[in-house]
């Protein structure tokens, strides 16, 4: 059941990327991530491209603990 759904999802994503003009990407894999982990992964990617002195995340509002946990998990400091 779930492996069939995962295979179908991967094929749909590969097709969507091909339609978007990305022809030679190879195999694709969709990973199930919740909001907090997704924000953490995005922050870690940004952190890798910034100088080490860039360690603050400015967040305009904090209405969920998930956002704060994601910033702290990425090893950054939160400014609300």
pLDDT average, residue stretch 55-67:
86
**DSSP one-letter code for 50:** S
6-41: pLDDT as tens digits: 889 988 988 998 999 988 877 777 877 888 899 999
Cα separation, 56 vs 76, in Å, equals: 6
The pTM is what? 0.61
The SS3 assignment for 78 reads strand
Task: Check residue 25 and give its pLDDT.
Answer: 79
Q: Is 57 exposed, middle or buried, given 0-12, 13-18 or 19+ CB atoms closer than 10 A? A: buried
């Amino acid at each position: 059941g779930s492996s069939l759904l995962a295979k179908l999802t991967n094929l749909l994503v590969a097709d969507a990327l091909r339609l978007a003009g990305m022809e030679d990407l190879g195999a694709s894999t969709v990973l199930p991530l919740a909001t907090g982990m997704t924000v953490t992964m995005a922050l870690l990617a940004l952190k890798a491209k910034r100088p080490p002195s860039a360690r603050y995340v400015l967040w305009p509002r904090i209405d969920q603990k998930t956002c704060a946990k994601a910033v702290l998990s990425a090893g950054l400091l939160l400014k609300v």
